[in-house]
Structure 1
Amino acid sequence: MTDMEWIGLDWGTTNLRAYAIGAGGQVAEEASSGNGMGTLAPADFEPALLDLIEPWIAARCRDGTDAVPVFACGMVGARQGWCEVPYREVPCPPVAANEITRVPTRDKRIEMHILPGLSQRAPADVMRGEETQAAGFLLENPRYTGAICLPGTHSKWIAIDNGHISGFTTYMTGELFDVLSSHSILRHTVTSDEWDEHAFRQAVEEASAQPQRAVETLFGLRAAALVDNASPETCRSRLSGLLIGQELGLASRYWSDKPVALIGSSATVPLYAQALASRVISVETVDTRAATLAGLAVAAAKSGAASHG
């Protein structure tokens, strides 16, 4: 792969995804492994990376070509990662060239760079990886003012003001659903994978209108199954709606009278889009992979390794 310009990495807690980027910013090849940050000691990161990309750099560097620039985002820059990269404090643009950390490597065929996450002092909050996805969205929407939402285990709501991140909030909605549906008394009530659209919509309406009451309605799911013979699919759909609705109600300052961009690829993204459709000016969905690659391209371009392509 002699025409490879740089390599992009999305290195999270559980997975490593690598992309060989060629001329014009096109993905020439990609590879992935289960060597996420959570499985590695600091000394293991470089070998884990080389195991994945060795064929690419062997082809690129066999004629003595300069080292390949590598740009990584995500938990690889956390305290337990390859190298702790300090957070940048908001408000700020999502990516800044002068704050990308160069990490020394034993293998001189690669030049390793890790993008910093973002922090917020009041209220305290942090992110790693989501800022790169935001940068990717803003590459195509440079003057965007509105909200970016990244649904997931820990959903992020990000306020964007003319291309800058002015603040953000994390909601543990996905994790709460997993805990409640798998480890609480409700696990006996939400055993179906089927879906009740009406129950979901109704729960979203209730919880978004009065998010402070969402917690007091949860045990009612168990009671409804016992007293009213509510089905497992109704209870599961209602649980999802209550938690997403509560999040939307609490996050209304981000989306009220503003456009919303949803970045994600999980099954929950359509649920958020559906819940937001009647509440916001517009809802746009963006694939996680596309946003991440575009954000890494921004970092590579700012560092002089590539054009935006």
Structure 2
Amino acid sequence: MTERADWIAVDWGTTNLRAFAMQGATVLARAQSNAGMATLAPEGFEPALTALIGPWLGGGPLPVIACGMVGSRQGWREAPYRSVPCAPLGSRMTHLSTACGIDVHLVSGLAQASPPDVMRGEETQIAGFLSLNPSWDGVLCLPGTHTKWAHLSAGEVVSFQTFMTGELFDLLGTASVLRHALTGEGWEADAFEASVRETMARPERLAARLFALRAANLLEGTGPAATRASLSGLLIGAEIAAARPYWLGQNLAILGTGTQARAYRDALALQGVTAMLTDTERATLAGLTSAHRSLKARP
């Protein structure tokens, strides 16, 4: 890195730590490690961060803006939730100083009183999405381990709902009887679409249809590609059926461009709904950049 960064953006989740050397809104360098929140004790966060960004600090400490689970109760320090409806980013962040003189600023997550719900990290992605799409109103779907559906209006998060679909897929695929039917790679789009249609029509049959995947593997020789796609279709279909009050009749965007985001897009397309895909890293960096600008603007 030949140019000098003026701040560092950090996306610190449960399993990964990603850092970006920034000059204004421009990325000069990237670094990543598997030192996620789940792997660290409180005293381990500072060493994990300095080990990753140390090469960028030759000219002295730089301010760090961090979002994600680093600010959770189990993280480096808890950054209190802000209550919706509100703008995705607040005017204040939780500040802490490291032994080596780095000022770290943690972005607060969002909380909803009724029904109870929380997000941490997604608020920064939402802020970035809105900065990239000014005056956009509608619903943003943020697929992940815990997928969020957020209703956005007039620059605020009005409400949101979380689904554990990604975690259920992982648990069922690695710790349930279905793991025996998923050994192998591949994906069958027709099986995915059929399962989405089925669970959208009869969501109450989900538990029975899940076991039928194993039975089909045993009795009909259904391969892992079809089983994997069917499992995804059943779970995403059930989620989309439950989230209908969010997406019905709304402008809709999906955060992501990878396999999971495309699966949500394809499932929604079966309902006649068009959703645009947005790059996750771009939105995250745009949100962290907005947070950095607000920090610089403070007296």
Structure-1-length-normalised TM-score = 0.90
Which residue identity does 1:33 align to in structure 2? S
Residues 39-58 of structure 1 correspond to what in structure 2 (within 5 A)?
39-58=39-58
The 1:190/1:43 distance shift into structure 2, 3 A limit, reads: closer
| Partner SS state of residue 63, structure 2 | strand
Which residue identity does 1:30 align to in structure 2? R
Which residue identity does 2:265 align to in structure 1? A
1:179 is aligned to 2:181: no
| 1:33 equivalent in structure 2 | 33
Kept in 2: contact 1:90–1:120 (CA 8 A): yes
Q: Please, which moves more after superposition, 290-299 or 151-160?
A: 151-160
Kept in 2: contact 1:260–1:282 (CA 8 A): yes
Following superposition, the deviation at residue 154 of structure 1 comes to 1.3
Which of 49, 63, 72 is the equivalent residue of 1:78?
Answer: 72
Kept in 2: contact 1:5–1:305 (CA 8 A): no
| 2:194 equivalent in structure 1 | 202
Which of 95, 98, 104 is the equivalent residue of 1:102?
Answer: 95
| 1:12 equivalent in structure 2 | 13
Which of 228, 243, 250 is the equivalent residue of 1:251?
Answer: 243
| 1:236 equivalent in structure 2 | 228
Which of 60, 68, 84 is the equivalent residue of 2:62?
Answer: 68
| Partner SS state of residue 5, structure 2 | coil
| 2:157 equivalent in structure 1 | 165
Which residue identity does 1:277 align to in structure 2? A
Following superposition, the deviation at residue 278 of structure 1 comes to 4.3
**Can you list the C-alpha shifts for 1:268-291, whole angstroms capped at 9, x where unaligned?**
111111111243653111122111
Kept in 2: contact 1:11–1:76 (CA 8 A): yes
Name structure 2 gaps, 5 residues minimum: none
**Can you list the C-alpha shifts for 1:131-158, whole angstroms capped at 9, x where unaligned?**
1011110002232211111112111111
Which residue identity does 1:85 align to in structure 2? A
CA–CA distance in 2 between the matches of 1:253 and 1:154? 18
Following superposition, the deviation at residue 2 of structure 1 comes to 6.1
1:216 is aligned to 2:216: no
Which residue identity does 2:83 align to in structure 1? E
Following superposition, the deviation at residue 215 of structure 1 comes to 2.1
| Partner SS state of residue 235, structure 1 | helix
**Can you list the C-alpha shifts for 1:91-129, whole angstroms capped at 9, x where unaligned?**
11100122x111132222x22100011111111111110
CA–CA distance in 2 between the matches of 1:209 and 1:93? 36
| Partner SS state of residue 303, structure 1 | helix
| Partner SS state of residue 58, structure 1 | coil
| Partner SS state of residue 131, structure 2 | helix
Kept in 1: contact 2:3–2:28 (CA 8 A): no
Q: Please, which moves more after superposition, 229-238 or 79-88?
A: 229-238
| Partner SS state of residue 304, structure 1 | helix
CA root-mean-square deviation: 1.9
CA–CA distance in 2 between the matches of 1:30 and 1:237? 33
Structure-2-length-normalised TM-score = 0.93
| Partner SS state of residue 99, structure 2 | coil
CA–CA distance in 2 between the matches of 1:246 and 1:277? 15
CA–CA distance in 2 between the matches of 1:288 and 1:132? 11
Following superposition, the deviation at residue 266 of structure 1 comes to 4.1
CA–CA distance in 2 between the matches of 1:97 and 1:304? 11
Q: Please, which moves more after superposition, 290-299 or 179-188?
A: 179-188
Kept in 2: contact 1:190–1:232 (CA 8 A): yes
CA–CA distance in 2 between the matches of 1:158 and 1:6? 29
Which residue identity does 2:207 align to in structure 1? V
| Partner SS state of residue 10, structure 2 | strand
Name structure 1 gaps, 5 residues minimum: 62-66
% same residue: 48
| Partner SS state of residue 97, structure 1 | coil
The 1:194/1:54 distance shift into structure 2, 3 A limit, reads: closer
Q: How many residues align?
A: 297
**Can you list the C-alpha shifts for 1:206-249, whole angstroms capped at 9, x where unaligned?**
11233233223212222333444433332222111101100111
Which residue identity does 1:42 align to in structure 2? P
